[in-house]
A and B are shown apart, each in its own frame.
Chain A
């Protein structure tokens, strides 16, 4: 089930989510993550780090208010939103799995989060459960743990843009974002652009313009361009120059890349 079926209506509580079904109220369960993140590699578990959130919380689907127990939540809904249907289904905010009974739902989540060091990453529409260290960057996990090596790294300081991916639709240097920060956010990498087999229009424009020399920086440039055009389909050349200015091309090939992106912009006809 795709992440976009959920909606985060609880401002400031990023990892607590719920969904509403057709007239059905579903309580979401926050991560009771006493030992969620671990500083160990898959091969040799060494120790764990305790994070702040230690107990489950139940979120009201109508206003996002959080409660410590399910009973408190149902009492609150009965009081504040009389007439709405009672809760009859439970949906995991992490993978969309549905449960009819609260006990079953709880034990599923307990099991999920007792697996120390795992995060769930939604990459190119697929969920991956990945064993990570707290300090690992998203770029490192994408490349070394998920094998998505189309995302390149050139500096690990956010200054070359080679590792650009989309996170919730925005161009992000994946070397600057921790994998744990990216949990449950929608991530798109260069591999995700042409997942259906056909090239993305921006990729096709790079082909048409031969906008590459050594090619190492190209995935990052393409992701930055896609983020721009998703946000602003009629991007001007100045928009494009600005959007690509976080990416370095040491072969000096930016003229062709700017041309390629311009060819994808709805402004192209007016230029």
Chain B
């Protein structure tokens, strides 16, 4: 691949859509059809575990301004089986949200109630109420092995044996609630929604409504951030059903409370970890069991929880178990990952415990045990496409002043009397690997510019801008000459796949790389006649198409494109072996493993009288392979810091232990950190570039790796106070309680 880059990684480049954003003109779902829509509110179950005996909507229908009502009888995403408190049983479309909410309150439901269980430890006890998610049990185990765990434990001079957790249960709280605007034209359904996966969402909607795909038209432009809960169909199906009934466009923008209760949640996790090391501090055995509270939908996301321990450290012997548990709590789903943020939190606490027992400082211990770039994957034996973890840790240690600042736990006070602490956390995860079948379209214009049609929404930090970088670089165009054409539109784009798994830049980016090559071949074919040299001797860079060995023989893209005898369209599909360069002695194109790699470190002050934690410094080092859209990359890593602060100190959805009702379904009661809760000048993004052998131009996925190391805060709190707080959020009350313990 071209090593002389003229577009990629330029820190001066702006997001292609930033002007639309600052002027308020980028359209999000609810911005469509102003003044023409009905509005939706839902009625939630007042039981946590029940069967609906009857629903009476007559009072709701009779209310002035109500135009349509649906229940589980005629809405395929509702059910008469209630598995958590607040689950939707009916929805109302009315002239405004207040009227819809009032009508929803008039829906009368009769239940046949069953006993419910909310605590995952209780759910595992014999005789606990059966949640009903799994056939005749509330939990099941899975396990994997490496080497000989008993032998590994025998070799260990030091063993840490700890039960840690539960971690926090919380909702994503995306600033735009899940929103869809639906309307019908004959038998065709039009959907505008915020989406992390427009094509799959269209398929889910079509299957729920039993329609062919070519009757459902979905457009997802702006999306008020997707942290994992905007993959699904429910809110759009509700709007579609009500729109058909009312014969009017219908907008279902979930209320903040509906979103907190009925959208997916990060799931709580507990771990029992036995990790052994020799007296020199080399790991010999990992015996881990992770328990995941999979709540009412029972998704087995916890199966990924062992990854950070499996992938980050070299250890020949392992027993990796996980347990999926069902409870009557609102549903779980992805939160900026599958399981790694809480799993890393727990396992990195255990690593710090082990480091302390071996007498090594946490950084030394990690540098001694992490897998090195030349090591193949310990289970598959395949090489890693790149691994910049050592680089991440070293740059991090330097940025945060680790060598000068680390001290024994609870051993250093600041001049103002507060306890000083410093902590790190690192992990490798399997993100950015998915070679999903995605497509990309590049349209060349007659004036020598290009449009990209990106089959994904703008759900985060400018991946379509990253794609423009890849296209401009490959076509040899100037950055300004490549723009985002229509995107997130299932009618005109190729399937762009899922905005998840940290795959957008690498997988969809690969499709755009292939599409650009396709368009470039056609351009060079045209240019060959003009330059008088065969296409294989032509190159393009910085807005010129030229003879490789004689750059003064050139044409601009305009000069070539102006005479296009036919429209040039570049098509690209998915990741291709052509993209892969040689990895550590293995042949180019041979199978390899792609990994997400990151480390974080922070320095804090803990007030032992109030339990308040002040962050003095927070550095987030992420291996981006190569930063394609440099500022977007930096933004996402800086954003990761704020999200790690949120996970460690703030996010927590609280349920009433008796009824299972959510008690804090608003931003007022469920606090998200703001500009006053930290001083953002103390945050630093560190971009590490390991030049990945698989990603286009060497890039890697960073979306999930950059939020997963919030265990650094727990380790820093331990370094300050000498107390472990392994059940985040780390509140002042928990810190004070821990300090009171002997």
A: residues with CB less than 8 A from B are 41, 46, 133, 135-136, 140, 143-157, 159-160, 162, 189-191, 193-194, 199, 203, 206-208, 210, 212-219, 222, 237, 240-242, 244-256, 258
A251's contact among B24, B26, B461, B679, by CB below 8 Å, is which?
B461
Known: A157-B667, A207-B22, A214-B222. A253 touches B175 (CB 8 A): no
- B681 contacts the other chain (Cβ, under 8 Å)? yes
A sample of 11 cross-chain residue pairs with beta-carbon separation below 8 angstroms, ordered by A number, consists of: A136-B96, A149-B27, A149-B30, A151-B24, A153-B30, A154-B177, A159-B256, A212-B15, A214-B224, A247-B675, A256-B635
Question: Are A214 and B223 touching (Cβ within 8 A)?
Answer: yes
Q: Which of B121-129, B515-523, B599-607, B637-645 lies on the face that meets chain A?
A: B637-645
Given A154-B175, A156-B256, A252-B639: A214 and B676 interface contact (C-beta under 8 Å): no
Q: Contacts A219-B24, A250-B225 given; indicate if A244 touches B675 (C-beta within 8 A).
A: yes
Partner-contacting stretch, out of B31-39, B53-61, B282-290, B390-398:
B31-39
Say whether A135 contacts B24, CB under 8 Å. no
Q: How far is the CA of A207 from the CA of B174 in the complex (A)?
A: 23
Do residues A214 and B460 form an inter-chain contact, with CB atoms below 8 A?
Answer: yes
Residues of B that sit less than 8 Å from A by CB: 14-15, 17-28, 30-31, 34-35, 37, 64-65, 95-98, 172-177, 222-227, 253, 255-256, 458-462, 631-632, 635-636, 638-643, 646, 666-668, 672, 674-676, 679-681, 683
Q: Which residues of B contact A143 (CB under 8 A)?
A: 30-31, 34
Q: A157-B668, A159-B666, A210-B632 are in contact. Are A217 and B175 (CB under 8 A)?
A: yes
B668 close to A191 (CB less than 8 A): no
Chain B residues within 8 Å of A210, by CB: 14-15, 18, 631-632, 635
**B256 nearest in chain A by CB position:** A155
Known A210-B632, A256-B635; judge A150-B642 contact (CB<8 A). Answer: no
Enumerate chain A residues within 8 angstroms of B18, measured Cβ to Cβ. Answer: 206-207, 210, 212, 215
A149 to B462, CA, bound (A): 21
- Report Cα–Cα, A199/B19, bound state, in Å: 9
Q: Which of B22, B255, B666 contacts A222 (CB 8 A)?
A: B22
- Whether B22 and A213, one on each chain, are in contact in the complex, defined by CB atoms closer than 8 angstroms, is no
CB atoms of A214 and B461 under 8 A apart: yes
Docked Cα-Cα span, A242 to B679, in Å, equals 11
Which B residues lie within 8 Å of A207 (CB)? Answer: 14, 18-19, 22
Pair A214/B23 contact, Cβ less than 8 Å:
no
A250 touches B173 (CB 8 A): yes
Choose one: A145, A151, A216, A253; the contact of B224 (CB below 8 Å): A216
The answer on a CB contact under 8 Å between A255 and B638 is yes
B461 touches A191 (CB 8 A): no
* A145 touching B35 in the complex, CB below 8 Å, given contacts A214-B458, A241-B679, A250-B174: yes
Contact A252:B642 (CB < 8 A) given known A152-B224, A210-B631: yes
Q: Which residues of B contact A208 (CB under 8 A)?
A: 14
- Check A149 against B174 for contact (C-beta < 8 Å): no
A253 touches B639 (CB 8 A): yes
Which A residues are CB-close (under 8 A) to B641?
Answer: 252
The prevalent SS among residues of A at the interface is loop
Which of B21, B30, B672 has the largest number of chain A CB atoms within 10 A? B21
Measured CB to CB, the closest approach of chain B to A206, in angstroms, equals 5
Q: Which residue of A lies closest to B638 (CB)?
A: A255
What separation, in Å, do the CA atoms of A140 and B172 have in the docked complex? 24
CB distance from A256 to the nearest CB of B (A): 6
In the complex the two chains form, is B668's CB within 8 Å of A159's CB?
yes
Minimum Cβ distance to chain B for residue A257 (Å): 8
Residues on B with beta carbons closer than 8 Å to the beta carbon of A216: 28, 175-176, 222, 224-225
Chain B residues lying within 8 Å of A203, measured Cβ to Cβ, are 22-23
Measured between beta carbons, the chain B residues less than 8 angstroms from A144 are 34-35, 37
Given contacts A156-B256, A210-B635, A216-B176, contact A248 B27 (CB under 8 A): no
The 5 closest A-B pairs by CB, nearest first: A150-B24, A252-B642, A216-B224, A252-B639, A215-B21
Q: How far is the CA of A162 from the CA of B672 in the complex (A)?
A: 14
**When chains A and B are docked, how far (Å) is the Cα of A249 from the Cα of B439?**
31
A218 contact set on B, CB distance < 8 A:
21-22
Is B24's CB under 8 angstroms from A250's CB?
no
With A and B bound together, what is the CA distance between A33 and B668 in angstroms? 37
In the complex the two chains form, is B458's CB within 8 Å of A215's CB? Answer: yes
- Contact indicator B17/A248 (Cβ below 8 Å): no
Contact A213 B668 (CB under 8 A): no
Query: When the two chains form their complex, are residues A252 and B667 in contact, meaning their CB atoms are under 8 A apart?
Result: no
Give the CA-CA distance A254 to B677 in the complex, in Å: 11
Residues from chain A with a CB closer than 8 A to the CB of B639 are 213, 251-253
Most A-side CB within 10 Å, residue of B14, B23, B642, B683: B23
Task: Tell whether, in the assembled complex, residue B24 and residue A189 are in contact, meaning their CB atoms are under 8 Å apart.
Answer: yes
B21 surroundings in chain A (CB, below 8 A): 206, 212, 215, 218
Q: Which residue of A lies closest to B15 (CB)?
A: A210
Complex Cα gap A250–B462 (Å): 15
**Shortest distance from the beta carbon of A125 to any chain B beta carbon, whole Å:** 16
How far does the alpha carbon of A206 sit from the alpha carbon of B667 in the complex, in Å? 25
CA distance A156 to B25 in the complex (A): 21
Q: Which of B28, B672, B680 has the most CB of A within 10 A?
A: B680
Residues of A within 8 A of B25 (CB): 150
Given contacts A162-B175, A213-B462, A252-B646, contact A245 B674 (CB under 8 A): yes
Contacts A154-B175, A213-B461 aside, 19 further interface pairs with beta carbons under 8 A come to A41-B95, A143-B30, A143-B31, A152-B224, A153-B30, A190-B22, A191-B23, A193-B23, A210-B14, A212-B18, A214-B458, A218-B21, A251-B225, A251-B461, A251-B639, A253-B639, A255-B638, A255-B681, A256-B638
Bound Cα distance A150, B683 (Å): 30
Query: Complex: how many Å from CA A157 to CA B669?
Result: 11
Report the minimal beta-carbon distance from B406 to chain A, rounded to whole angstroms: 25
Given the contacts A144-B34, A152-B224, A159-B666, A214 and B175 also touching, CB distance less than 8 Å: yes
Q: How far is the CA of A140 from the CA of B37 in the complex (A)?
A: 12
Shortest beta-carbon distance from B196 to chain A in Å: 11
* Chain B positions within 8 Å of A162 at CB level: 175
Residues of B within 8 A of A146 (CB): 34
Shortest Cβ distance from A212 into B: residue: B21
Find chain B residues with CB under 8 A from A213 CB. Answer: 225, 460-462, 632, 635-636, 639
Bound Cα distance A253, B715 (Å): 25
Closest residue of B by beta carbon distance from A136: B96
Contact of A249 with B175 in the complex, beta carbons under 8 Å: yes
- B460 contact set on A, CB distance < 8 A: 213-214, 251
Q: With contacts A213-B461, A248-B175 known, is A160 near B23, CB below 8 A?
A: no
What residues of chain A lie closer than 8 Å to B20, measured between beta carbons?
215
Q: Is the CB of B28 within 8 A of A152?
A: yes
- Of the candidates A147, A151, A160, A199, the one whose C-beta lies within 8 Å of that of B175 is A160
